[in-house]
Amino acid sequence: MRKLSTLFAILLIFSGCNSSEEINTTLSYEATKGFHKVEIVGDDLQRVVVFEEISDIGKGTITLPEGNVWPKEIKVKLPFPRLEGFKAYTNLDKEHLFEHFHAAGVGNNQYIGTYKGAEKKRLAKDGQFVEIELPAEMFEDNPKIIYIEWVNVYRI
């Protein structure tokens, strides 16, 4: 019985250590071109950068504050029915872009996302907003900044 209570005490000590380590996936956003009104929502698994007001052509940065970790998933939600183009890259790798663009044409109303030259996702487009999921591979090297740029469709 004494061995069991000792083992239980050791387990309590070690489990207490883990609970004090809190994971923080809070992100910050700053506009670098254009006007943006932004809200970041979500939890430790997923963060969504929701643009409530936005310029047709814009740039911004999503920054990971010191001591925080990237969430498993980051989405950017833009209030446009269509989007000409979108790209994202990190402070560690400015050569490999994540690009998300509209493929126009008869029966070809879709978005195609590519990263490092490989197609990541094809999405049919319906609705009054565009929601883009950034590829998890962008966060593997733990960058501190993700740069995003977009252009709204100005001609239909």
More confident residue, 19 or 145: 145
Between 29-33, 129-133, 141-145, the lowest mean confidence (pLDDT) is in 29-33
How confident is the model over 8-18, as a mean pLDDT?
41
Domain spans of the chain, in order of start: 23-152
| More confident position, 81 or 64 | 64
Indicate the SS3 state at residue 71.
Answer: coil
What string of DSSP letters covers 5-26? HHHHHHHHHHHHHHHH------
Nearest alpha carbon to residue 64 among 141, 135, 131, 151: 141
- 3-class secondary structure, 35: coil
Encode pLDDT of 98-131 as tens digits.
Answer: 877 766 554 555 667 777 766 666 665 657 788 8
